[in-house]
Amino acid sequence: MAPIRLGMVGGGKDAFIGGVHRIAARIDGEFALVAGALSSTPERSRDSGQALGLAPERCYGSYDEMAEAEAARPDGIQAVSIVTPNHMHAGPAIAFLKRGIHVICDKPLTATMEQAEELADAIRASEALFILTHNYTGYPMVRQARDMVAAGELGALRVVQVEYPQDWLADAAETTGTNKQAEWRTDPARAGAGGSIGDIGSHAHNLACFVSGLKVESLAADLHSFVPGRKLDDNAHILLRFGGGVRGMLWSSQVATGNENALRLRIYGEKGGLEWAQEDPNYLWFTPFGQPKRLLTRAGSGASDAANAVSRIPGGHPEGYLEGFANIYTGAAAAIRAVEAGATPDLSLLPGLDAGLDGMRFIAAAIRSSQADAAWVTL
């Protein structure tokens, strides 16, 4: 099958996540990048595009221009990846959705709740798909964990512990003038009102909900900025209450020295417990109550259909972050092909508007709670 024609907004030089999206789109051969508005100025956009092998006439100076031009081409893009800072999600997404072009958008949904609502309207009004790259849900063993919970292997859930510590902002990296990632991710104008809570806490929240199948009903959050001068939180401590009486904790931090990208989920029910760590993603620890702990491995003898469906290679041959990310893209491709064939796409495992709004509400609630000195806030 011919690859889906893909455009990209953002992802020029100095960007991190744009390159990730491009590889993820490419791994399974489902997409071909053919157009881009990669940077905020036409010249840089063209430079970046040419480095990626795009035709010069499809390197656009703005997303609006791109949306219009591509929509008019018979071989125009079928889908677009939006990989800009958070405040630049809604604008391009709406522009492409309006024209029936499917959108694959980096998380969180937007920088503000207002933008989120505007985008939500556009998504609801469009026949095109909107996929949010909560990429950690693409890991095979995360899929397996979700299935095991859903199948009742843990019994009724009780406790969900999720954490996402990093250390790359342990000093004032945003003031050095050399770290663009640090700059926009600590800037309220571009990132929104959440610092660690928006950047990584939202991933942790999404992962906990994805695996548990639950929603956070209320939370009490203690957010803090440890690095002097930083405008957004770089550490968040949150008490969680999920539906069904399940309780949990969420910790996100950008100042926990010794942690690179240590997203970790632990989930306990009446009959068993599961533990998963993003840095060692091919392993899933499962303990049925009263039995020894078992090490389930991707594509290994304990792997489930849900995991195997998104595995490419045998057990012991580690798949990583890019493969997990690619599973979102390949899932999106299947959904896009279904829509284009007039069929109903299977969106059950693909994060979209609902996950995005849940994330925005979670971030907003955490900030509101923290401003009220960790008072409970209902989502």
Q: Which of residues 322-341 bind a second copy (CB under 8 A)?
A: 322-323
- Find the part of the chain contacting a second copy (CB under 8 A) among 191-199, 206-214, 254-262, 331-339: 254-262
How many other CB atoms are there within 10 angstroms of residue 211's CB atom? 26
- Find the part of the chain contacting a second copy (CB under 8 A) among 67-75, 104-112, 206-214, 216-224: 216-224
* Chain residues 268-327 in contact with a second copy, contact rule CB under 8 A: 268-275, 278-282, 285-297, 300-302, 312-323
Size of the site for a second copy (CB under 8 A): 90
- Using rule CB under 8 A, residue 247 touches a second copy: yes
| Nearest CB to a second copy, comparing residues 130 and 164 | 164
| Nearest CB to a second copy, comparing residues 271 and 337 | 271
| Nearest CB to a second copy, comparing residues 93 and 284 | 284
Residue 224: half-sphere exposure toward Cβ, Cα within 13 Å: 13
Question: What is the closest distance, in whole angstroms, from the C-beta atom of residue 46 to a second copy in the complex?
Answer: 16
Residue 168, CA distances (Å) to 15, 196, 278, 323 in order = 16, 11, 17, 23
In sequence order, the 6+-apart residues with CB closer than 8 A to the CB of 21 are: 8, 11, 81, 83, 104, 106, 133, 325, 329
- Using rule CB under 8 A, residue 235 touches a second copy: yes
| Nearest CB to a second copy, comparing residues 23 and 71 | 23
- Find the part of the chain contacting a second copy (CB under 8 A) among 75-83, 141-149, 258-266, 356-364: 258-266
| Nearest CB to a second copy, comparing residues 61 and 273 | 273
d(CA 75, CA 86): 29
Q: What are phi and psi of 157, to 5 degrees?
A: -70, 155
Question: What is the closest distance, in whole angstroms, from the C-beta atom of residue 57 to a second copy in the complex?
Answer: 16
The arrangement of strands across the sheet holding 377-378 comes to 283-288, 272-277, 264-269, 157-165, 247-253, 235-242, 216-224, 377-378
Helix (H) / strand (E) containing 218: strand 216-224
Buried b (16+ CB within 10 A) or exposed e, 99-115: bebbbbbbbbbbbbbeb
d(CA 139, CA 263): 12
DSSP labels, 230-264: --S-SEEEEEEEEGGG-EEEEEEES--TT-SS--E
Give the CA dihedral 165, 134, 298, 273, nearest 10 degrees: 60
55 touches 34 (CB < 8 A):
yes
Question: What is the closest distance, in whole angstroms, from the C-beta atom of residue 8 to a second copy in the complex?
Answer: 13
Question: What is the closest distance, in whole angstroms, from the C-beta atom of residue 187 to a second copy in the complex?
Answer: 20
| Nearest CB to a second copy, comparing residues 66 and 284 | 284
260, 340, 346, 354: which one binds a second copy (CB under 8 A) = 260
Q: Please state at what angle helix 140-150 crosses helix 202-212, rounded to 10 degrees.
A: 50
- Find the part of the chain contacting a second copy (CB under 8 A) among 65-73, 142-150, 241-249, 344-352: 241-249
Chain centroid to Cα 320, Å, comes to 15
* Chain residues 180-199 in contact with a second copy, contact rule CB under 8 A: none
Chain centroid to Cα 347, Å, comes to 15
Binding characters for a second copy, 46-85, by CB under 8 A (x = yes): ------xx--------------------------------
Helix, strand or coil, per DSSP, at residue 343: coil
d(CA 87, CA 64): 16
| Nearest CB to a second copy, comparing residues 163 and 187 | 163
Binding characters for a second copy, 152-181, by CB under 8 A (x = yes): --x---xx-x-x--xxx-xx----------
174 touches 191 (CB < 8 A):
no
| Nearest CB to a second copy, comparing residues 41 and 371 | 371
- Using rule CB under 8 A, residue 19 touches a second copy: yes
| Nearest CB to a second copy, comparing residues 125 and 372 | 372
| Nearest CB to a second copy, comparing residues 36 and 352 | 36
- Find the part of the chain contacting a second copy (CB under 8 A) among 97-105, 119-127, 261-269, 351-359: 261-269
